[in-house]
Structure 1
């Protein structure tokens, strides 16, 4: 599903060498402070469980996802050099709760957050603890002392939090006038002059698809049911037609006529008079040709051996 993002504020460019990357970074929080630069790390993506790139700001206060746009036959001109790799990387803010949520669901018990986020394959995951907007009380229950930071996953809180996320995204999509109705699938990015881009249900389903980009498949299905959204597969089911109507509609006309004319129980109907079949009429020209051809030999008779 297409994303609704704001315009980037900064253009960051490194020196033109073999490791040059072109970045569009959003937010003043990604600026270097006290000699500490933003750090790009690899983390586990919450939806696919595969490797994805993220950027921590200085001090790990915020985190942004790195999205890569790659097209064939594209290059960059940097000063007096040409960079053959025409990829462009865009960083966009992400709520760190999405990244912590899979680990909370996996633990299913009270556990300190640092211990819960321990991942041998992705050791940088523990840095999420320092994020300023990591409000785990929205999706988990805190146990014990506040300094201990021990949490247990709460599905009801999670569903309520995700519902608010979906409603917020739906409001943004509606304000931007993006078409989300079934009749405007090819015009997702076309703004409607009449501001009639879809119904409330269609906006919620569209927003659910965007939020689901950061959710596991089973959690996305639970959220869909929690929102009481109609299932398209149920609406697309065809109406059942009785077998009698189907056979009568598909029966050829000739078959129907022959069925009507066929004898009942194998016996002939003697009540109907049988009309003799009409012989084909011969025209006068055909009669004249037959008389002229009488007594003439076939042309093949002249080539027989004598």
Structure 2
């Protein structure tokens, strides 16, 4: 289910698809700028009815929206999907305990922890943090006050549970996962969860905890992006050979027939840009 909401006073019209729970009620929701848990870049999230959703962005080269009697020239599409707030709050709680070496760190109150310089909108997550962060924190109560401190063992147990659930779900979503071995599916699940974790310490600790060989996802993405396309190599080699032959004979050779490229075809992974790469 989705709903249509107009934000009054907006300078430009944008189309956002979100669940009813994310945009229902008296208020359509608030767009918060928070730090992405992995990149630490300022990132836009939708917060409404105590649900936090990350925003993904898709845009074709040409397109527009017909919204009733109104035409929006910007044909981009934003999609809001629920995200576990523990992922977003984990780096904040990690910094707040001020852990040094074997020292487990300090207990802090929530309003102190969520005071992040340059990001005042973390204060909106105070009720959400009170409900969700106990699963990865030790707590102490002094009178009417409650103090929190992140616990590594609880974080690893929570991450292991996330990976286990995802490992069971992946084969149901894609038959390719069902055809591969369990270990590779486990590696894929860790890789997906790792998109929301810093390499140090959480991602490395998770790999070690699960008995897997650590692979730096940043290096993997960089190497993949730098790999040349096989078809492009063949085309370049063919054109180069033809040019050399023409120079030797002094005759204009026939134009090399290039492989037909489908201009409207896109890789499905390129259709969406994660919130960490696009700020609203």
TM-score by length of 2: 0.67
Q: Which residue number in structure 1 is paired with residue 181 of structure 2?
A: 199
* 1:230-245 correspondence to structure 2 within 5 Å: 230=213
Q: Point out where structure 1 has 5 or more consecutive residues left out of the alignment.
A: 1-8, 181-195, 234-306
* 1:98-113 correspondence to structure 2 within 5 Å: 98-108=87-97, 109-113=106-110
Shift of 1:176: 1.9
Task: Kindly indicate whether the alpha-carbon contact (under 8 Å) linking 1:97 and 1:134 is maintained by their aligned counterparts in 2.
Answer: no
Q: Which residue number in structure 1 is paired with residue 4 of structure 2?
A: 12
Pair 1:223-2:206 in alignment? yes
* 1:1-306 correspondence to structure 2 within 5 Å: 9-14=1-6, 19-33=12-26, 36-58=27-49, 61-108=50-97, 109-131=106-128, 134-145=131-142, 147-180=144-177, 196-218=178-200, 219-230=202-213
Looking at structure 1, the residues matched to 41 and 215 of structure 2 have their Cα atoms a distance apart, in angstroms, of 29
Looking at structure 2, the residues matched to 170 and 179 of structure 1 have their Cα atoms a distance apart, in angstroms, of 13
Shift of 1:135: 2.5
Q: Which residue number in structure 2 is paired with residue 287 of structure 1?
A: none
Larger radius of gyration: 1
Looking at structure 1, the residues matched to 52 and 172 of structure 2 have their Cα atoms a distance apart, in angstroms, of 26
Looking at structure 2, the residues matched to 84 and 175 of structure 1 have their Cα atoms a distance apart, in angstroms, of 38
Question: Relative to structure 1, is the Cα distance of residues 80 and 113 closer, same or farther in structure 2, using a 3 angstrom cutoff?
Answer: same
Looking at structure 2, the residues matched to 110 and 15 of structure 1 have their Cα atoms a distance apart, in angstroms, of 40
Shift of 1:145: 3.3
Question: Relative to structure 1, is the Cα distance of residues 42 and 229 closer, same or farther in structure 2, using a 3 angstrom cutoff?
Answer: same
Supply the RMSD in Å over aligned alpha carbons: 2.4
Q: Which residue number in structure 1 is paired with residue 242 of structure 2?
A: none
Task: Kindly indicate whether the alpha-carbon contact (under 8 Å) linking 2:22 and 2:46 is maintained by their aligned counterparts in 1.
Answer: no
Higher relative contact order (CA 8 A, sep 6+): 2
Shift of 1:232: 6.7
Q: When the two structures are aligned, how many residues end up with a matched partner? A: 206
Between 1:141-150 and 1:66-75, the stretch displaced more is 141-150
Task: Kindly indicate whether the alpha-carbon contact (under 8 Å) linking 1:66 and 1:92 is maintained by their aligned counterparts in 2.
Answer: yes
Shift of 1:163: 0.5
